[in-house]
Chains A and B, each alone.
Chain A
């Protein structure tokens, strides 16, 4: 019997006659991968592979859609959070080295930025990267140059445990017992004084937030709850067929688009996915701009004076990877062609 089934059975028995643990609309789940150490830091690449940073093992595994596992890299000491940058390289936080590393698709490791105590990362539509440390939010451009830092603990009293993108363009921060929204560099508290161990969150394209809760109090249950963009509870027990859930992420298709398969990492070493027939919108992409999505012809034509061919975030991103002088120009276009491998 799988561990979570045992827990559910125990919960049912403990509840006594006449009470049945409600199944949420996201139930049931199916096992995607098991036998892992602690799959609480996961990220999908642009072709649907799942990258898992194995806590304590120093390994990052790649699991393809069929479930086949390969070692992606073991060259980063104490890897923690993982996400992809706009170039399609994997960003990995190293707790031991207080560093964020970039890992190329071929496994080449380089330093991205120094951050101590990183607990979450997200790439924005302009290619910039937010890294959440417990006491500070760090904002870097696509090349790892620091843009700003927001002291969350001293200013807002929040010890950040995760950072997540949403379709309203705001970022959502989770504490262990609170939920915050960051708009325009300012934090707004949405939920406070919750039971402890609210962990990872993922939004769908409709703005529903799926939030993992690991129960530690008597009478509490492991579950995924559903909240809206203002943090209001939509369904407290949207999914209960989980054990110690710590992270959730929407899958990606081979073409890079985000789909409606919700994967949940659990502390018991299992990754499950919802097999519910309930309508589930596609996930909001964790990675904003993807480098491969830039239209080379549009980038060239705009530098030749044809206006408004590039979306604003793309223009900003290209400037950042180029000469970073606040305007898109021929130097930025050169940097783009080199980064894209078009010219040497």
Chain B
């Protein structure tokens, strides 16, 4: 009768949820962790050794305090309600590109980046963007 214990536990937990923690939370609070405002970083991965410019879109809510994380690059960005569009120019390599402030650093998966356009250092536009990756992490 092993399975029957689980529903009983859930029911008990639900009944007691106003005063008793049911998860691993050992700090005595209830529900999900409180949001922790802070800074996330957008990191580029590229197989190319001659990237000279790129345009990217960072998608996610309540992004603020966008700053360049790669010294020496030119950056200009536009913010809107759903994210940030940015253009970078310079000798671009794999590594951190941007840092930005969010309401909760524990939810980096709420943010995603996409390379929209890229050019090499002879100013030729890349025909494929498949070999670029953008990751968001604390």
Which of A's residues lie within 8 Å of B, judged by CB?
A: 297, 300-301, 303-306, 322-323, 325, 329-335, 337, 342-344
| B80: min CB distance to chain A, Å | 11
Interface residues of B in 81-124 (CB under 8 A from A): 85-87, 89-90, 116-120, 122-124
Is B123 in contact with A335, judged by CB distance below 8 angstroms? yes
**A303-B116 Cα distance, complex, nearest whole Å:** 10
Which 6 A-B residue pairings sit nearest by Cβ, starting from the closest? A331-B119, A331-B123, A334-B53, A300-B76, A330-B53, A304-B85
**A332-B89 Cα distance, complex, nearest whole Å:** 11
Is B119 in contact with A330, judged by CB distance below 8 angstroms? yes
- A329: chain B residues within 8 A (beta carbon): 117, 119, 125
- Give 1 or 0 for each of B120-137: 1 = CB within 8 Å of chain A CB: 101111000000000000
| A127: min CB distance to chain B, Å | 16
Q: Which of A304, A322, A344 interacts with B123 by CB under 8 Å?
A: A322
Q: Which of B55, B74, B85, B122 interacts with A343 by CB under 8 Å?
A: B74
27 contacts between A and B (CB under 8 A): A297-B76, A300-B76, A300-B87, A301-B76, A303-B117, A304-B76, A304-B77, A304-B85, A305-B116, A323-B119, A323-B123, A330-B53, A330-B54, A330-B119, A331-B52, A331-B53, A331-B120, A331-B123, A331-B124, A331-B125, A332-B123, A333-B53, A333-B87, A333-B89, A334-B89, A337-B74, A337-B89
Is B78 in contact with A301, judged by CB distance below 8 angstroms? yes
With CB as the reference atom, state the residue of chain A lying closest to B123: A331
Q: Which of A297, A304, A325, A335 interacts with B55 by CB under 8 Å?
A: A304
**A335-B89 Cα distance, complex, nearest whole Å:** 10
Is A304 in contact with B54, judged by CB distance below 8 angstroms? no
**If A323-B119, A323-B125 touch, does A330 touch B74 (CB 8 Å cutoff)?**
no
**If A304-B85, A304-B87, A323-B124 touch, does A334 touch B78 (CB 8 Å cutoff)?**
no
- A300: chain B residues within 8 A (beta carbon): 76, 87
- A330: chain B residues within 8 A (beta carbon): 53-55, 87, 89, 117-119, 125
Is A303 in contact with B55, judged by CB distance below 8 angstroms? yes
| B126: min CB distance to chain A, Å | 9
- A297: chain B residues within 8 A (beta carbon): 76
- Give 1 or 0 for each of B30-65: 1 = CB within 8 Å of chain A CB: 000000000000000000000011110000000000
Is A303 in contact with B87, judged by CB distance below 8 angstroms? yes
Q: Which of A306, A331, A342, A344 interacts with B78 by CB under 8 Å?
A: A306
Which of B's residues lie within 8 Å of A, judged by CB?
A: 52-55, 74, 76-78, 85-87, 89-90, 116-120, 122-125
| A108: min CB distance to chain B, Å | 22
Given contacts A300-B76, A304-B55, A331-B119, 18 further A-B contacts (CB under 8 A): A305-B85, A306-B78, A322-B123, A323-B119, A323-B124, A329-B117, A330-B53, A330-B54, A331-B53, A331-B123, A331-B124, A333-B53, A333-B89, A334-B53, A335-B123, A337-B89, A343-B89, A344-B90
Is B74 in contact with A342, judged by CB distance below 8 angstroms? yes
With CB as the reference atom, state the residue of chain A lying closest to B85: A304
**A329-B123 Cα distance, complex, nearest whole Å:** 9
- A323: chain B residues within 8 A (beta carbon): 119, 122-125
- B120: chain A residues within 8 A (beta carbon): 331
With CB as the reference atom, state the residue of chain B lying closest to A301: B78
**A333-B87 Cα distance, complex, nearest whole Å:** 10
**If A300-B76, A304-B78, A342-B74 touch, does A334 touch B52 (CB 8 Å cutoff)?**
yes
**A293-B106 Cα distance, complex, nearest whole Å:** 46
Counting chain B CB atoms within 10 Å of each CB, the highest count among A301, A329, A337 belongs to: A329
**A221-B13 Cα distance, complex, nearest whole Å:** 110
With CB as the reference atom, state the residue of chain A lying closest to B76: A300
With CB as the reference atom, state the residue of chain A lying closest to B88: A330
**A339-B85 Cα distance, complex, nearest whole Å:** 24
With CB as the reference atom, state the residue of chain A lying closest to B75: A300
Is B90 in contact with A325, judged by CB distance below 8 angstroms? no
With CB as the reference atom, state the residue of chain B lying closest to A296: B76
Is B55 in contact with A334, judged by CB distance below 8 angstroms? no
- B85: chain A residues within 8 A (beta carbon): 304-305
| B104: min CB distance to chain A, Å | 27
- B90: chain A residues within 8 A (beta carbon): 343-344
**A306-B86 Cα distance, complex, nearest whole Å:** 12
- B54: chain A residues within 8 A (beta carbon): 330
Q: Which of A304, A333, A344 interacts with B86 by CB under 8 Å?
A: A304
Counting chain A CB atoms within 10 Å of each CB, the highest count among B54, B87, B122 belongs to: B87
